[in-house]
Amino acid sequence: MSLSLEPRTTPLVMGVVNVTPDSFSDGGQWFEPEAALAHGRELLEQGADILDVGGESTRPGAERPSVEEELRRVLPVVRELAGLGAVVSVDTMRAEVAARAVEAGAAVINDVSGGLADPEMAAVAASAAVPFIAMHWRGHSRDMQDKAVYADVAAEVCAELTVRVEQLQAQGIARENLVLDPGFGFSKLAAHNWSLLRHLDQVVGLGLPVLVGTSRKTFLGRLGVPEGGPPRPPLERDTATAATSLYAAQAGVWCVRVHDVPTTLDALRVAAAVSEAP
């Protein structure tokens, strides 16, 4: 199933289907294929426009699974959800996983490394001719927070994404198939995330569709928590996530990636109602 990247007045909603045992956001409760499929169907019923299926945790410090293990986790879920008529995105940094997932029915490749982690990824995405989501990335989960150093985070993210777009186009990916993700939480501390959110219009101003993924990130869990205290658990961050989705909609993003679809849909309906009011 194809997916339009045309500008939108209200962002699409991408629902997260983690097929991992160690996800920060849900503790691996959808790890087994049947549980992941049930969760995907539930997200569709709740109104998700896209289902993002991933088999590798990208939380800080996470170890990577083998290619074989990632394929084992992802392919059955992609195949079944696509068979239901869902628009499925595969969340992977590996070219082989992306290629096999597209063969199984995935309509989007969502690479948090923007094609940097696997030198074959750009060729796969170019050949598949499906939307390719390129995130701002400075390194793998094991040490990415060591690289969270910025003088002007929004300007530097935009500059690095611009270079990446040029490289991906040179490797054969059509510009009309590119989507940008500023990479909230990846090689970014809390202050960087807030500044990036405030200046999200700069990323949108690059002229390509933008995906925002703030959902349940740690910086949201620190809201209202005394300094030095532990952040609120991920499942208690959905209201804050919906607030960031509202802000992202006002900035003109194409899509928001969330774990809890109903709260974000409500926030986006509020944004739409206000914009349409006389």
What residue numbers bound the domain in which 168 lies? Answer: 12-213
The string of pLDDT tens digits covering residues 195-228 is 999 999 999 999 999 999 999 999 999 999 998 8
Does 232 fall in a domain? no
Residue 118 forms part of a structural domain: yes
CATH number reported for the structural domain that contains residue 117 in this entry: 3.20.20.20
Q: Average pLDDT in the 101-120 region? A: 97
Read off the pLDDT of residues 49-76 as tens digits, 9 standing for 90 and up. 999 999 998 777 677 889 999 999 999 9
Asked if residue 245 belongs to a domain, the reply is no
Quick one: pLDDT at residue 27?
45
257 is catalytic: yes
- Looking at 79, 164, 217, 237, which residue is catalytic? 217
- Res. 110: pLDDT tops 50: yes
Average pLDDT, the chain: 93
Label each residue of 119-133 as H, E or C: CCHHHHHHHHCCCEE
Task: Indicate the SS3 state at residue 176.
Answer: helix
pLDDT at 24 > cutoff 50: no
Count up the domains in the chain and report the number.
1
For residue 106, being part of any structural domain is answered with yes
| Neighbour-count burial of 225, counting CB atoms closer than 10 A to its CB (0-12 exposed, 13-18 middle, 19+ buried) | exposed
Whether 268 maps to a domain, the answer reads no
pLDDT of residue 36: 87
Task: Tell me which of 73, 138, 237, 257 is the catalytic residue.
Answer: 257
Query: What does pTM read for this prediction?
Result: 0.94
C-alpha–C-alpha distance, residues 203 and 154, integer Å: 8
Residue type at position 142: R
The percent of residues above 90 in pLDDT, for the chain, comes to 82
